[in-house]
Every structure is written in structure tokens, then in C-alpha cells.
Structure 1
Amino acid sequence: MCNLMDTNSKIMRLIVIITGLLLSTITYGQTSLNEIGLEAGKYKVGFKHYTVSDSTRNYRIHNEYNNQLIQRPISISVWYPAKIEDSNSEQLTVLNYVEIFKEEEEWKNLPDYFLMDWFQHLPNTPQNKAHLSEKVHAFSNPTFSGDNFPVVVYAPSYQASSIENFALFEYLASNGFVVISSPSRGTETRWLEGATTKDMETQSRDVEFLLKEINNYKNIDSKKVALMGFSFGGLSNAITVMKNKNISAVVSLDGADRYNYPVLEKSPYFDLDKFEIPYIHFAQKEIPKEVLTTDKIPEELNYNFKLYDSLKYSNIYRYRFHDLTHSYFSSFGVLFANRDKRQDKSDEKIMASYNLLCQHTLQFLNATLKNDEKAIAFIENKPVANGFSETLISKQTKKALQRDFTYKDFNDLAFKQDYQDLIPLYKKTMVNHPNLKLQEGMLNMLGLRLSFNPKKKEQGYNVMLLALHIYPKSANLYDSLAEAYFYNKDYQKAILNYKKSLELNPKNQNAIDRLEQLKE
């Protein structure tokens, strides 16, 4: 749902053009939430919306026309599996979601009767007005269901609302996910400056703010986190992945990581080698020649997937939905966006394809965050094997290359098992990675670091013993292990290892001095 504000940015004009919302070619959609036909999962859906402040950034309310700075406001929307225990939780309508625009667009006191005239992404038509009374699946502020759930952090399209994809969010929440989102807004004010690298970095920081915010919830699994973004949000998520290692998967809803790749490359954080998690990109249908010619759109947009082509260490899945143009990768696009009769399919096909988009998103998240076997098979299958014609959906995949397995990777494995049973782990790892080199100095430093921590001393000893398994004739390692025992007042083992160090290096003055000290 790209905002169509006038901008001098060539890139932003391009995003606007591909939405196909030219006034001379529009028609009005006849859609409804019920006809989209998303079948809810086993959970009821809760929704809450609130605003917090990011004290690390300054911000100005544009509509107040002054120079007063405030802490940057972050509007947060959360969908979650819920318990509906009493009548205090009211089932929401589309209007309840639309009213959030007033806060996010900084028109808090705008009368509701202005909503369809004030915000240009809500064309004031009878069809669109009818959507406002539709019931949605979410209820206001019920309690969380008792389990811990994976989290999806969502980045909206250019200057769009936190709730732009609410039907997808409700669908995911009903199937056991928490979804958290904030609006796409500029660095200093509500307005972005034109899909620039600065805009991307600003939205990325907002996503990182949400990654921190999820830790305030008890019913989430912070080790199972995916990013999802539409259009410009997809671009911001790509750079966020390169900055953060605590993300497990990425979903791009026709993301601008395809359209605006040069903006991504300009970031100081750009590093393709740090993008090594499962990535799925859902692309719009091919843009017809008539539209390419009339709107002066580069033909390469139909086939250029540079991020897909450039990534080496990710398992990547790329789908093309042949009945969806760019606008309809969001709930608000399906319900409210004008139709471009030059390229858009019928409302029935748009709703059916949006339904399939939601299903594929759920399957990917079930596969990557829940390790669900049926979902893994679904994602690995060709669309035909899942019952879908390739005239509707086509797919390409690319498997991750095997990167060199380094001491850091081994240490990650050791960390996961709390540095227990390291010698068996090392032997098993060497079978699969015979070129692995664990340097003596690294093991020595890590072992001492852990040993000097009273809560981790046993783990430190284990690292030292692994080091001695690999380097059995190292006088220095025996000396370090003795130092670890000495520090922790295990003097008998300290004496034993100082003596072993001296057997290998009779000139080890530290061992000589320590043994003299221990005699006293």
C-alpha cells in the first residue's frame, strides 16, 4: 500500500508507478473480508495498540508547524493468540483499525466522518465505506493464551500504517504466532524523504526497536523471530538481517529489496555474507508491455531479482503470483485500493491469490520457526505438488552454499551444549569438517576467560581439556589449566598440572614460582 505523496525521488516514483493507480485507468473493487476466505486457526485473536517513545531519537510533529522536538513516538500494534474469557473483550471492526490512522498520521482528533476523505489511501467510494462495518477476527485486549509463541516483526510499505496487512496478521495469530508492527515514518517527521538509504536505516531502527519491545512480553519465544515486510519494508528488513543475528527467517511481500537494490548497497551495514537465514520472496505478476511503455517502467523489473541472485549462504524461495499486482500484497490493498484495468485481475482472482499468499506465508513460518514437517514439505514442493497450477503460482529455489566451518561455528555448537562433552563434539565435527582448525591460543584464552568466572569454571576446564586433547604437548596449556585450578583454589589439581607443564618445558618460570608458593 505505497503512499502516493508527491516526491522528487526517482526511486519513489518507480514504487508509485508499479502500484498501477493512475486515475485514467482505475475501477473500483468489490471485495470483502469474508470473500477472501482465510480459515482461522485454533486460537482466538487478541489485538492491542499503544504508543511508546524512543528516547534515543528526536522527532517533530509536522502538522504543528513549529520547531519543538519530542522523543520519537513509536506506535505499536500487536496481534496474538488469546483467551476470550469475558465480555470485556470486544470484537473489532475494520473501522477500529482505520481509526488508528488518525494517531499514526498525527491527526488524533480528526472526526471519523472525515476518514475516507482525509487519507488518500482510502478512496471515498460506497464499496470502501461498506468495509468499515465489517467484523474482523481480532478482539480488543484479551489475555494472552498460556503458551510461548514465535514472533513475526513486520515492516510496512512506504509511509504506511502498522495495520496495513491486518487480515494476514490475524490469520498468523490464529495459527500460533505473535505479530508486532509499527508504521513506516520519516527520520525527523512523519514524512520519509524519498525511499533513500536514510529512510531505510530509519525504518530498520524502528524494526530493531520492536525486536527489543518483544522482550516485554512473557508469552513469546524470543529465540524464534522472523521479519516480514511489504514493499519498502522488505528493503529495511534486508539491512536489519545484516545487522542482527537473532533473526531466524525473512518474508518479503514483493519487497523493494528487488526494486531498490542500489539503496540497500549504499548502507554501511551492507554485507551479503551476514545474510544466511531462510528467505522467501513473493513477487507480483509480470507487468504488461502496455504499462511498461506508457508508464516508462524499466522492463528489467519483470525479471531482475538481484538480492535473490546475490545471496550465497541462505536457502531462498522465490514465488511469483500471476494474479497479483503490487498493491494487493496487503489487506488494505485488496479491500481499498483502486483497480488498474490495464493489468489487474478480477476481484475474485485477487482475493483468491491473497488467500494463497497468506497460506504460503504461514507454511514458511511454520517450517522455519516451528520446524513443522508438513510445512517443510510444502515449502520444498513445487506448487503443482501442493495442488496449485503454475499459471497461478510459479516458484524458483536456491540452496545455500556450504560456507567454511570456522572456530566460531564450533564455539557456537559448544555454547549451545554449555561446553559439556567437548571432545566427542570435536571428533564428530571433524568428520563433517575435516579442515576445521581450532587454534591453541583461541582455546587457551576462552578457557581462561570462562575459568575466571566462578559460575563458569567447569566449562572453562572443559575447554582447556579439549585444547590439551588437540595439543597434548603444549606446556603453556598445562600451565593455563593449572592457573585456572589455582584461581579457583583447587590446589591439588593445580600442582599436578604445573608439574606436567614443567615436564614439557623445564624453564617455565611461572610453574616453578607457583609450585614454590604452593609448598609454603
Structure 2
Amino acid sequence: MRLTILQILIFFSGNLIAAQTSLKEINLENGAYKVGFRHYTATDSTRTYSRIFDYTNKKFSRPIPVSIWYPSEQEMVNREPLTVLDYFEVLKEEEEWEHLPNDQILNWFYYANTPANQKHLLETTTAYGGARSAKGKFPVIIYAPSFQASSIENFALCEYLASHGFVVISSPSRGTETRWFSNNNAKEMETQARDVEYLIKEISKYPVADDDIAIMGFSFGGLSNILVQTRNDKVKAVVSLDGTERYQYGLLTQSPFFDAFKMDVPYMHMAQKDIPEIVLKEDKIDAALNTEFKLYDSITKSKVYRLKFHNLSHTHFSTLGVLFAERDKRQDKRDPEIMKSYKWVARYTLQFLEATLKGDKNALQYIDNDPQYNGAADGLITLQIKRPEKEAYTFQDFHELALKKNYKNLVQLHDSILKKHTSFKIPEGNLNTLGLQLVFNPKTSDQGIKVFLLGTKLYPNSANLYDSLAEGYLFMGNDKKAIESFERSLELNPQNQNAINRLEQLKK
């Protein structure tokens, strides 16, 4: 009998049929590089963990199984590529059943022990264990698996991306205390986010890894990745393979780290087809899942791509789902249609990453095109693009530009900005605070005076700004200018006791 049931957002029912697919028929179009693969276990000493089936109270540092796919230029003479069974050896380790006999794999885990699935285990992949990495640096993709799933669940997609010049790193989705999630999904979402952040640090140790990073997640992994993006500046793009952030927005909002306003990098969400009414009714699924996408509606600062694949169900956004998952005859399409659509998922993922991490203009044009223009059959994919809302020009924007120009010609800079952003207004208090910060630092005193001069130009009746300008001149030893400015401040506000006291001291 099976040990566990794979939990995903869309629940399986009893209406299942066997799948007939293969890696060869999926036929992903690999790039110029051979693909190397490594798997090992790292340790996060900041957290504790227990092996659930050891039946002891022993706790130890959290193990982080790591799978890495990377570009290789090595000639693979006399080397054999990995088989699907080799990847299942990784799955066994991550499920903490390392010693399980291979002939029990399909009985023990998630997939039916059918002749077709036994045949899948013997299929060869395009990855080579331990191959030498190619020279140079490559952009990084961190993959977050679905609910309690293995790091290798999307191995074909990971190989495909590595062959096109990306480093892909993944670890399994596992619970906070043990292999299994608790009933607190908000806690487990945060745990998976921390695992992804651990991988950001882990991959930085590799000379082959560039600083540019994208995060990619399937199902539950999509939720965790939203948290990761909002608190990590290294993340430059997000790919979501039917991510649960579309279906469980409320779970996101339970996190103190979530803020849709911080979603400020390109984001591509690829979704399953509309769930048929019979499935909604029999599986007690809210029909709003077909239409609502609150996160999409909430994002204002980044460009968002929303694609719907009309021939894919939720589980078919992973390699293992396409190859091994039983089909639901109430809603799943035929295997050739599923494999063709999975190939389009891979293409759009690649083009999005080429555009966002490598700056490829042709790739950007590709993802902006209507899918039919790119060769997709009519009705296969629906695309929506949401562009960032035009934001008001802020004082922070102005200051960053002024800083680059070493605070020179601030009046002219202000006027040029005002021509493009007619509603732009610098708060008087911001100028006063910035000027004081600069003027009392001997290294930047001159810049502080320039800020105050801009301030008195914009706010000629501000006694406070003239008083601060005078303090700046006094700090710099220019008593004459200090007296002039204190006197102007006193004209504007005869009750300015600071100016009265300073002038009395200066004129002794």
C-alpha cells in the first residue's frame, strides 16, 4: 500500500485513468550546453529538525537537500546520462526512505505501479551526474517545489533551463519540524521561504553562479516565493507555475512579511484551465478560483504576465505530474495535448527568464506577443499583461538624482523635473532635515548649504530654513553669511529666539 498521498490544491477523485507519456514525446528543445547535475545535503544550523520515522526525540540542525542543474561543456564520451530512476533515488532520500528497494518505489510513494510508470523509471534524461561545469557565470534560478514535494519534481524543466545557460537550484518542500507539514500552513509557507533564502546564500558559494537571481515555484512553492521576493533585493524576476498565491491569497496576508506594494520585479503566473463545473461540485471547490486573482489585482509596481493554459490541469505543471500522475477523466485532456502544453510552459519560462535576467530584447518581444503570433494554436493559451502604474515622483527620487550630480545646480534640476512631473513638490521639512544631515558632516557641509539654498528659493518665507542655513554657515566658520541668514530668519519670524541669541553672540 502507499505510504502517503500527494496533497495539491486540486484534489484527486476516484475518476482516474492511466497516463501514456514519455520524455521523448515531450521533446523539450534543449540549448547549446550539456547539463550537469549534483545532489548533496547541506545544513542550516539556525533551525532544528527531526526525522519523523526514526521514532525518537532527537533533534538536530535542519538538513537542506540540494539539487543543482548547471551548464556544462564537457564531452560526455563514455558517460551515461541519468535515468528517471536516478532522480527517484533523490526522492527516496528526501522522503527519508533511503533504503527502500527500488522495486517498491511505485508502490510506496505517490504514483501507480503500472507498466507505463515502470517504463518511465528507465527513461534516460539529458543530465549527467557530476559533469564539469562550463566556464563563466550564469544567471541563477531557485526552484520551490509544490506541497511537500521533492526537489526533482520538475527535473525536465530544470534540465531544459540549464541547457540554455542557467544554473537551477532546488530543495524539497518539507515541514518546519519534520518531513511533513503541520496543520499551520502559514508557518509552513514561511519555512519554505526560509529554505529558498538558504539556497540564495548556498548558490552564492559557486563561482559559476551570477548575482542575478530569479525564483520559480510550482503550487505551494509559489506562495513561499512571493514572501522571498518582497524581502530579497537579489531576486530580479518571479515565475509561478500555477502557484497557490492565486488560490490562497488569504494565506499570504497572514504573513507579517507580505506586502503587495513590494512586488516590484517582473512576475509571470501560468495557470491551469478553468475547472469544470462537475469537478467544482463533486470536489467542493469554490467556483471563484476560476476567475479571482487578488494578488494580480493588488500588484501596482511591476509588470505582470498572466497566462492560462487551457489544456493543463494543476498537476501537469511538473515533470512528474505529466509523466506519472493518473488522469482525471472528468477534466484532464489527452496526453498529447498535455505534453504539448507542458512544452509551451517551458518555452514561456525560458523566454521570460532570458528577457528578465539576460536582457534579451527578442525574448521580451516574444513574451509580449499574442501567443498565436508565437505559434501556439488558437485557444491553447490566453495571455494578459498588466503594466506598472505610473508612480508619483518622490523626494527620494529627486535626492537620488541630486546625489549622483553631487548636489550641483539643484534649482535647475528641480525645474527640469517639474516640467515632466507637474505635481512634484518637495516638502519643506525634508529639505531642512537633509540639509542639516549634510551640513554638520565636515565632508559634506558644502552640499548641505546647496540644499538650504534650494530650500530658501522654493520657500522664501520660511524662517526655519533661513535659521538652518545660518547654523550651517556658522558651523563652517562663515560668520558674515551666518549673520545675514539669521537676520533674514528674524525678519520672517521676530519671535525666533535662536536667531536672537545667535546674533547677540556673533555681534559681540
User: What is the TM-score normalised by the length of structure 1?
Assistant: 0.83
- Equivalent pair of 1:46/1:143 in contact (CA under 8 Å): yes
Cα distance change of structure 1 residues 162 and 135 upon mapping to structure 2, 3 Å threshold: same
1:381 aligns with 2:369: yes
In the other structure, the counterpart of 2:431 is 440
Instruction: Rate the CA distance shift 1:77–1:501 in 2: closer, same or farther, 3 A.
Output: farther
C-alpha deviation, 1:230, in angstroms: 0.5
SS where residue 38 of structure 1 aligns? coil
Q: Of residues 479, 486, 494 in structure 2, which corresponds to 1:505?
A: 486
Residue of structure 1 equivalent to 2:287: 299
Give the corresponding residue for 2:494: none
Report the Cα distance in structure 2 between the residues aligned to 1:174 and 1:433, rounded to whole angstroms.
45
**Residue 330 (structure 1) shift:** 0.4
Q: Percent of aligned pairs with the same residue? A: 46
Query: Given the alignment, which residue of 383, 397, 405 partners 2:385?
Result: 397
The Cα offsets for residues 67-92 of structure 1, whole Å up to 9 and x where unpaired, read as 11101111111112223157697532
Cα separation, 2, equivalents of 1:216 and 1:478: 52
Matches within 5 A, 1:186-265: 186-194=175-183, 196-222=185-211, 224-265=212-253
CA RMSD of aligned residues (A): 3.2
Question: Alpha carbons of 1:384 and 1:52: their partners in 2 closer, same or farther (altered >3 Å)?
Answer: same
Distance 1:106 1:394, change over 3 A: same
Q: Note closer, same or farther for the CA distance 1:78–1:445 as it changes in structure 2 (3 Å cut).
A: farther
**Higher deviation after alignment, 255-264 or 433-442:** 433-442
SS in 2 for 1:147: coil
1:174 aligns with 2:168: no
Deviation at 1:408, TM superposition (A): 3.1
Unaligned runs of 5+ in 2: 458-464, 488-498
Q: Indicate if the aligned counterparts of 2:44 and 2:64 stay in contact, CA closer than 8 A.
A: yes
Name the residue aligned to 2:491.
none
Give a deviation string over 1:203-238, Cα, whole Å, max 9, x none. 11111111222221223222x221111101111112
Give the deviation of 1:480 after TM superposition.
5.0
- Residues 271 and 128 (structure 1), Cα distance of their counterparts in 2 relative to 1, 3 Å cut: same
Q: Which residue of 1 aligns with 2:257?
A: 269
- 2:107 equivalent to 1:117: yes
Deviations 1:384-443 (A, max 9, x none): 22222341111112221122332334455677x596978587665444334152722443
- Aligned partner of 1:54 among 44, 50, 58: 44
Q: Superposition pairs for residues 5-44 of structure 1, below 5 Å?
A: 5=5, 15-17=9-11, 21-22=12-13, 24-44=14-34
- SS of the residue aligned with 1:400? coil
Instruction: Measure, in 2, the Cα distance between the counterparts of 1:68 and 1:408.
Output: 51
Instruction: Give the superposition deviation at 1:505.
Output: 3.4
Q: Which residue of 2 aligns with 1:352?
A: 340
Any conservation in 2 of the 1:89–1:140 contact (CA below 8 Å)?
no
Q: Letter of the 2:305 partner, please give it.
A: Y
* CA deviation profile, 1:268-323 (whole Å, cap 9, x unmatched): 12222112222111110111122222222221121121211222222111111011
Alpha-carbon deviation of 1:144? 2.8
Say which is worse superposed, 391-400 or 417-426, in terms of deviation.
Answer: 417-426
Q: Which secondary structure does the structure 1 equivalent of 2:35 belong to?
A: strand
Q: What pairs with 1:458-477 in structure 2 (closer than 5 Å)?
A: 465=450, 468-469=453-454, 476=468
Q: CA deviation at 1:331?
A: 0.7
- The answer as to whether partners of 1:89 and 1:141 remain within 8 angstroms in 2 is no
User: Which residue matches 2:119?
Assistant: 130
Q: Distance between the aligned counterparts of 1:47 and 1:420, measured in 2?
A: 51
Q: Does 1:308 align with 2:296?
A: yes
1:331 is matched with which residue: 319, 336, 354?
Answer: 319
Cα deviation for residue 361 of structure 1 reads: 0.8
Task: Quickly say closer, same or farther: Cα 1:114–1:380, change in 2 above 3 A.
Answer: same
Q: Distance in 2 between matches of 1:75 and 1:193?
A: 20
Which of 1 and 2 has greater Rg?
2
Secondary structure (helix, strand or coil) at the match of 1:304 reads coil
1:43-96 per-residue CA deviation (whole Å, 9 max, x = no partner) reads 222221121111111111111111111011111111122231576975322122
- Which residue identity lines up with residue 254 of structure 1 in the other structure? D
Aligned residues: 483
Distance 1:313 1:499 in 2: 49
Judge which range, 379-388 or 276-285, deviates more: 379-388
Q: Which stretch of the first structure deviates more once superposed, 145-154 or 157-166?
A: 145-154
Aligned to 1:64: 54
**Equivalent in the alignment of 2:74:** 84
1:44–1:482 Cα change, 3 Å: farther
Secondary structure of 2:42's counterpart equals strand
Contact 2:432 2:455 in 1 (8 A): no
Contact 2:486 2:503 in 1 (8 A): no
**CA distance change for structure 1 residues 447 and 147 in 2, over 3 Å: closer, same or farther?**
farther
Change (3 A) 1:85 1:313: same
Pick one of 260, 268, 274 that aligns with 1:280: 268
> d(CA) in 2 for partners of 1:270 and 1:399?
21
Asked if 1 retains the 8 angstrom alpha-carbon contact of 2:227 and 2:258, the reply is yes
Pair 1:116–1:262, CA change in 2 (3 A): same
Residues 64 and 288 (structure 1 numbering): CA distance in 2 closer, same or farther, change over 3 Å?
Answer: same
Alpha-carbon shift at residue 244 of structure 1 (Å): 2.7
Amino acid at match of 1:182: S
Give the superposition deviation at 1:160: 0.3
Q: Using a 3 Å threshold, how does the CA distance of structure 1 residues 440 and 512 change in structure 2: closer, same or farther?
A: farther
Structure 2 counterpart of 1:505, one-letter code: F
Post-superposition offset of 1:501: 4.1
Q: Deviations over 1:244-272 (max 9, x none)?
A: 33322111111110111111111112222
The answer to whether 1:108 aligns with 2:98 is yes
Q: Structure 2 CA distance, aligned partners of 1:76 and 1:339?
A: 30
Q: Report how far residue 475 of structure 1 moved.
A: 6.5
C-alpha separation between the residues in 2 aligned to 1:270 and 1:305?
Answer: 16
For the 8 Å contact 1:468–1:478, the answer to whether it is kept is no
Q: Distance in 1 between matches of 2:120 and 2:409?
A: 60
Say if 2:37 and 2:131, in contact at 8 Å, map to a contact too: yes
Conserved in 2, the CA contact under 8 Å of 1:50 and 1:77? Answer: yes
Distance in 2 separating the partners of 1:413 and 1:221? 28
Distance 2:17 2:405 in 1: 61
Distance in 1 between residues matched to 2:63 and 2:193, nearest whole Å: 15
1:367 aligns with 2:355: yes
